[in-house]
């Protein structure tokens, strides 16, 4: 099966859709250490199609690492990630590409190229993965930019637009090839509350209107309650909670409670270190205030 394989539009579209009735994403026994830092600890879970899944957890708990493993950007020490039943870490490049075509990714930075206009940025993946004529690509780009409310900004350069617009352009690029799944790494980072609401609505709409499965990493509590069908909380490389936003709200798990309440004291380590640090710097007064 070597040589040039020309992908026509209908095939490209069909490829990006989910074929099996099984889970959209299936993670099993995923394990990863960096030296002595055991970041992903035997993680197993499945995501159904057409829902919004939120992955949350304290800084450094392994959310981005998990995402990199799910999109095949990094190889696990052991375990597997199946995208629509296809191994994203397969030794076969052809198999990996097949899995890769099923999803788009919106990175935290939006990752737009500054030398290209918004429209040219969105066109990139279509040009790379299809042989469609430019006139068709232009139409697809316009459609995707209109979907995210950016129909007027085709010819703008990334440095000419706001952070929220960059996010939306990045999203248009992530969905350029009609993926069945979209991964988002902290889509609301650095945005004001109104723009966060706009992005949340887009994630919700894309999921319901296009039947996309969305996997969103965020700590933004209002977002979680607005968008999530299910929430997974990651802590010390394990999933310590999985449930609906309502179950999250009423969970008695001490890690979940500390995170939700923003308590400086509790099982999550980093804030404890921080309060010990502040105690050393400004004396026990602060600790006393916290205890009261």
Q: Among residues 54, 61, 141, 228, which is the contact residue for ligand ADP, using CB under 6 A?
A: 61
Output 34 or 159, the one with its CB closest to ligand ADP. Answer: 34
Nearest CB to ligand ADP, comparing residues 57 and 158: 57
| Comparison of 55 and 175: residue with beta carbon closer to ligand ADP | 55
Among the listed residues 97, 87, 81, the one whose alpha carbon sits nearest the alpha carbon of residue 15: 97
Determine the interface stretch with ligand ADP among 12-20, 54-62, 116-124, 145-153 (rule: CB under 6 A).
Answer: 54-62
Q: Tell me the window of 55-63, 97-105, 147-155, 260-268 that interacts with Mg ion (CB under 5 A).
A: 55-63
Residue 4: C-alpha distances to residues 1, 92, 130, 258, 273 (Å): 9, 17, 12, 54, 56
CA distance 232 to 245: 10
For the bound state, the minimum distance from the C-beta of residue 75 to ligand ADP, rounded and expressed in Å, comes to 12
If one asks whether residue 63 binds ligand ADP (CB under 6 A), the answer comes out as: yes
Q: Verify binding: residue 16, Mg ion, rule CB under 5 A.
A: no
When CB distances are held under 5 to 8 angstroms depending on the partner's kind, the choice from ligand ADP, Mg ion, none that residue 81 binds is none
3-class DSSP state of 292: coil
Running DSSP on this structure, what letter comes out for residue 82?
A: E
Q: Which is nearer to ligand ADP, 25 or 234 (CB)?
A: 234
Max Cα distance, the chain (Å): 71
From 83, 92, 78, 87, select the one nearest 38 (Cα to Cα): 78
We find the least distance from the C-beta atom of residue 234 to ligand ADP, in angstroms, to be 7
Shorter beta-carbon distance to ligand ADP: residue 64 or 223: 64
Of 28 and 236, CB closest to ligand ADP: 236
User: Which of these, 188, 181, 202, 216, lies nearest to 56 by C-alpha position?
Assistant: 216
- Which 34-53 positions form the footprint of ligand ADP (CB under 6 A)? 34, 37, 39
**Contact call for residues 52 and 214 (beta carbons, < 8 A):** yes
Buried b or exposed e, range 254-278, using 16+ CB within 10 angstroms: ebbebbbeeebeebbeebeeeeeeb
Q: Out of 16, 64, 214, 223, which residue is the one contacting Mg ion (CB under 5 A)? A: 64
Residues in touch with Mg ion (CB under 5 A): 63-64
Q: Which residues of this chain interact with ligand ADP, rule CB under 6 A? A: 34, 37, 39, 57, 59-65
């Amino acid at each position: 099966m070597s040589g040039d394989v020309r992908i026509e539009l209908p095939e490209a579209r069909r490829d990006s859709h989910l074929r099996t009735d099984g889970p959209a994403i299936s993670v099993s026994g995923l394990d990863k250490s960096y030296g002595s830092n055991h970041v992903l600890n035997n993680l197993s879970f499945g995501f159904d199609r057409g829902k919004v899944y939120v992955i949350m957890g304290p800084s450094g708990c392994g959310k981005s690492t998990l995402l990199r493993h799910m999109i095949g950007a990094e190889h696990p020490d052991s375990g597997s990630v199946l995208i629509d039943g296809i191994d994203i870490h397969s030794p076969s490049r052809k198999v990996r590409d097949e899995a890769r075509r099923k999803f788009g990714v919106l990175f935290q930075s939006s990752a737009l190229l500054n030398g290209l206009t918004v429209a040219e940025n969105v066109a990139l993946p279509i040009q790379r993965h299809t042989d469609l004529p430019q006139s068709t690509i232009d139409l697809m780009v316009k459609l995707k930019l209109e979907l995210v409310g950016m129909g007027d900004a085709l010819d703008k350069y990334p440095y000419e637009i706001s952070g929220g617009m960059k996010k939306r352009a990045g999203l248009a690029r992530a969905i350029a090839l009609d993926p069945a799944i979209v991964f988002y790494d902290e889509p609301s980072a650095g945005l004001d509350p109104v723009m966060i609401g706009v992005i949340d609505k887009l994630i919700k709409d894309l999921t319901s209107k296009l039947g996309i499965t969305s996997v969103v990493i965020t700590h933004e509590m209002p977002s979680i309650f607005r968008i999530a069908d299910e929430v997974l909380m990651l802590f010390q490389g394990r999933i310590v909670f999985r449930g609906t936003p309502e179950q999250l709200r009423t969970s008695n798990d001490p890690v979940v409670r500390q995170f939700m309440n923003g308590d400086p004291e509790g099982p999550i380590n980093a804030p404890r270190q921080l309060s010990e640090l502040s105690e050393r710097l400004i004396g026990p007064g602060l600790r006393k205030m916290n205890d009261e």
